[in-house]
């Protein structure tokens, strides 16, 4: 391939971030096999990408993504202010700015003949259709799970369609049931509890685990109890105890000898011994 700088990459990062968050995966994953930005450069070739643009309300995302680390990967970041609400009620303004900027490049930089769009948002259909009708090659990356409407037929508006589960080397997460995702989320939560320096020397008791499952995973008391029972029955957790001032406290931590637990923790971005 010639070093023609003919490819532009457009990432609705806010959309992708929340899509991957359900599976406890960061777009800027520490493992290059699961890192969105590094995989895109590897796939298309660094010498052929003219620009890689990413859009999000980074203030809303907080510390979950490091703008500095993403910029070091030669990604141009666009801060787009949303409505300031939480995940369930947020209004994504990033896709609007992305579409405006892509149309500007369409008219001002004719050398760009391939537009790569990374987003599962159906609002991208008009943009893809317009680019395609102007003779541009359009390639789309999105998470193909239950959140993607079966009626959308996004692949009908592009030259090539990529499933991000396969592209990011996490195909095992694509068809997870709600309970499987909750189990995965619970394991990551319990693992991170012990990683917190404020919990050093402490044990995570069953009652506190269930309360945190209710709060962090938005579960009822009964659902949290059922999830905790499944964690025990599947040998995902093992007993853990500490002694402080002569008093023994019982709790549970994740069973790192369990192969599925190791896989989940590793793909969440943690080193597993």
Residue 40's pLDDT is 98
> How many structural domains does the chain have?
2
Q: Do residues 229 and 155 both lie within one domain?
A: no
The answer to whether residue 90 sits within a structural domain is: yes
Residue 88's pLDDT is 43
Residue 99's pLDDT is 94
Q: Do residues 92 and 217 both lie within one domain?
A: no
Q: Do residues 198 and 135 both lie within one domain?
A: no
Q: How far apart are CA 68 and CA 72, in angstroms?
A: 6
Q: Among candidates 100, 5, 102, which has minimal Cα distance to 48?
A: 5
| 3-class state of residue 105 by DSSP | helix
Q: Among candidates 24, 35, 34, 92, which has minimal Cα distance to 60?
A: 92
Q: Do residues 87 and 113 both lie within one domain?
A: yes
Q: Which domain holds residue 41?
A: 7-173
CATH code for the domain in which residue 105 is found = 3.40.50.1010
Residue 91's pLDDT is 53
Q: Do residues 97 and 187 both lie within one domain?
A: no
- CA-derived radius of gyration, the chain: 21
Please identify which residue in the block is written with the tokens 């893809």.
Answer: 128
pLDDT values of the chain reduced to their tens digit, one per residue, 273 residues: 456 789 999 999 998 998 898 888 999 999 999 999 999 999 999 899 999 999 999 888 867 789 999 999 999 999 998 655 544 444 567 888 999 999 999 999 999 999 999 986 677 889 999 999 999 999 999 988 866 666 667 778 899 999 999 999 999 888 888 889 899 999 999 999 999 999 988 999 999 999 999 999 999 999 999 999 999 999 999 999 988 888 898 999 999 999 999 999 999 988 876
Among 156, 173, 190, the domain boundary falls at: 173
Tell me the CB-side half-sphere exposure of residue 81, using CA atoms within 13 A: 2
| 3-class state of residue 31 by DSSP | coil
CATH code for the domain in which residue 222 is found = 1.10.10.10
Q: Do residues 95 and 212 both lie within one domain?
A: no
Residue 34's pLDDT is 95
Residue 1's pLDDT is 42
Q: How far apart are CA 273 and CA 257, in angstroms?
A: 10
Q: Among candidates 209, 262, 210, which has minimal Cα distance to 236?
A: 262
Q: How far apart are CA 65 and CA 121, in angstroms?
A: 20
Residue 121's pLDDT is 67
Among 143, 173, 203, the domain boundary falls at: 173
Q: Which whole-number Å values give the CA distances from 202 to 185, 192, 195, 261, in the listed order?
A: 21, 13, 11, 21
Q: Do residues 131 and 237 both lie within one domain?
A: no
CA angle 70/75/81 to nearest 5° reads 80
Q: Do residues 91 and 150 both lie within one domain?
A: yes
The answer to whether residue 272 sits within a structural domain is: no
Residue 89's pLDDT is 44
């Amino acid at each position: 391939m010639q070093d023609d700088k003919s490819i532009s990459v457009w990432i609705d990062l806010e959309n992708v971030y929340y899509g991957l968050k359900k599976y406890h995966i960061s777009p800027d994953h520490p493992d290059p096999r699961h890192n969105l930005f590094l995989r895109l450069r590897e796939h298309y070739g660094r010498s052929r990408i003219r620009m890689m643009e990413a859009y999000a309300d980074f203030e809303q995302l907080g510390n979950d993504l490091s703008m500095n680390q993403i910029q070091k990967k030669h990604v141009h970041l666009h801060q787009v202010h949303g409505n300031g609400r939480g995940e369930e009620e947020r209004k994504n303004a990033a896709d609007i700015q992305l579409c405006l900027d892509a149309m500007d490049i369409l008219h001002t930089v004719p050398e760009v003949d391939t537009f790569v769009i990374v987003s599962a948002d159906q609002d991208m259909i008009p943009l893809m259709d317009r680019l395609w009708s102007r003779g541009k090659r359009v390639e789309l990356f999105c998470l193909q799970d239950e959140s993607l409407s079966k009626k959308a037929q996004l692949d009908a508006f592009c030259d090539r369609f990529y499933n991000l589960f396969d592209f990011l080397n996490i195909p095992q997460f694509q068809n997870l049931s709600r309970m499987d995702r909750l189990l995965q989320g619970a394991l990551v939560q319990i693992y991170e509890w012990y990683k917190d320096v404020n919990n050093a020397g402490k044990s995570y008791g069953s009652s506190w685990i269930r309360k945190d499952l209710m709060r962090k995973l938005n579960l009822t008391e009964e659902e949290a109890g059922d999830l905790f029972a499944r964690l025990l029955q599947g040998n995902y957790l093992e007993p853990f105890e500490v002694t402080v001032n002569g008093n023994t406290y019982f709790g549970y931590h994740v069973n790192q000898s369990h192969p599925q637990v190791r896989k989940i923790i590793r793909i969440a971005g943690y080193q597993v011994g």
